[in-house]
Chains A and B, each alone.
Chain A
Amino acid sequence: MLLLIKKDLVIHKLSWLLYFAMLLFFIVLNKDVMFVVAIITAIITMNTFHYDELAHGNKLWNSLPFTRKEIVSARYSTLLVVLLMVTAIVMTVARITNGEWSSAFSSLSIWEEIIGSFIVMMVSASIFFPVVYKFAQKKTIFTFVILFIGTAIAGVYFIYYLYKYLIESTSIIQSMGIGLYWALLAIGSLVCYVLSWGLSLKIYKAKEFL
């Protein structure tokens, strides 16, 4: 399965430079950590699906000595690997900029922003991965790329405004504690991710590669 994760990363080739340039661009625009991590991860993840569809990758990798379970599991694992990589780069840049680069929602710490980005991406992937496995084809994959990135951006703002609403209009977060609030969201997203993983496996095992 490590070979498949490596493949998911390697097929981007020089696009990695473009992703890095985009990351720096968003940082220069002083975009929030959650936004930058989520959008860059979303772009990389959906481009992986895109490249695979263009190259009939499903047909190729299913003809090589891999099981369908490994192929799907590798994709779910790759998302986490990419999230960690992008987060590490963003954290490094944040450290270099001496902490001046912070959230527009100043009430969120950088750690909350990072946890938020993981939550957004895991929930977005939970929704889209099974859909892409079920319906995406060479002609339609680009539509899913756009929808996924759009969902990731919408998810970021949903997390921000939910937090803002709960802090300003209710006492839920204050009463449960900020740590528990993020922990519950993280656990919820993890449960979604695991369920989605299982659903994708079921879909992919029944899929036909024509």
Chain B
Amino acid sequence: MEHVIELKNVNKSYNHFRVSDVSLEVKKGFVTGIIGSNGAGKSTIMRMILNLVKPDSGEVHVFGMDYAKHEKNIKDRIGFIFSEDVLYDELTLHDQKKLIAPCYSKWDDALFHQYCDTFELPLKQKLKSFSKGMKVKATLAIALSHKADLLVMDEPTAGLDPVFRREFLDIMQDIMLDGNKSIVLSTHIMSDLSTIADYITYVQKGQIAFSKDIHELQENYAVVRGGIELLDRDTEQCFLAIKKTKTGFEGLSADQNIAESLFGNEAVIEKASLEDIMYYMQGGKNVAVVN
């Protein structure tokens, strides 16, 4: 399968934080969600994908090319959205478009106007009068109007209300109907991903904990709840993380079938949501991460 992004053994160190030995492959034609708690390293990875941050070591390839030799070619094919505004407040959307459009080789002005109509964006109004949601839509309209093959979105829905988030996700689903586009999206809002992501990469403390097909996660991962007497050295091996109280336990298992065969009807076994997975993997309050 063709990969639009490949990170190989990438390392990046800061004073109090490091991204260690990250290897990641983002498949063409799919939505890959990068999840993790705040400060886990998602944004650093996204910035390395966009060459805004350079790794200390390791390789970053986008569309099979590296930035050292093909920076302009790569960026010509990428659309981006950041959580913060990157547009000039004093300019109108029309002015901003006039600055950005000539930068791309495949800019489609008709498509841009079509998106502006769809998103109900006023072209002649200064961007400082736009709401946060409108600014994200404006960035999205720009990102989509140059027919980008890859959309890189770093927390695009951060700070947005649930109505707009749903609308945003609908737009993403429409984009993916194309079949040739790929999206890599970082977020810590799990509900955003469960509807659109095909693959999930979980970043924890600067490392990739796992990178899996979302259906595999949803099918196999389970939360098990039961009495404390059910736990022993053998049954604990079934869990990635366990939260114990005096009388009971809750645990995350990566294999629902094994959990069911071990505990049968003696424990409550439910499919784990992405949020559950993140909570347990992160080692939330009183949760012990096994191994």
Contacts and interface: CB of A to CB of B under 8 A. Distances in A.
Interface string B50-62: 1111100000000
A63 B103 CA distance: 11
Interface stretch (B33-41, B80-88, B183-191, B203-211): B80-88
B104 A65 contact: yes
Contacts of B82: 56, 59
A54 interface: yes
B75 interface: yes
Interface in A182-210: 206, 208-210
Contact of B72 (A54, A60, A66): A66
In which size bucket is the chain B interface?
20 to 34
Interface string A39-57: 0000000000001001111
Given A11-B91, A63-B75, 10 more contacts: A3-B102, A3-B103, A14-B90, A56-B85, A63-B50, A63-B86, A64-B104, A65-B103, A208-B53, A209-B53
A10 interface: yes
Interface of B: 43, 47, 50-54, 71-73, 75-76, 78, 80, 82, 84-91, 95, 98-100, 102-105
In which size bucket is the chain A interface?
20 to 34
Contact of A59 (B86, B88, B91): B86
Interface of A: 3, 6-7, 10-11, 13-14, 51, 54-57, 59-60, 62-67, 206, 208-210
Count chain A CB atoms within 10 A of each CB in B72, B88, B95, B98 and give the residue with the most: B88
B95 A55 contact: no
B74 to A, nearest CB: 8
A208 B104 contact: no
B88 A208 contact: no
15 contacts: A10-B91, A11-B88, A13-B91, A14-B90, A51-B88, A56-B84, A59-B82, A60-B86, A63-B50, A63-B75, A63-B78, A64-B75, A64-B103, A65-B72, A209-B47
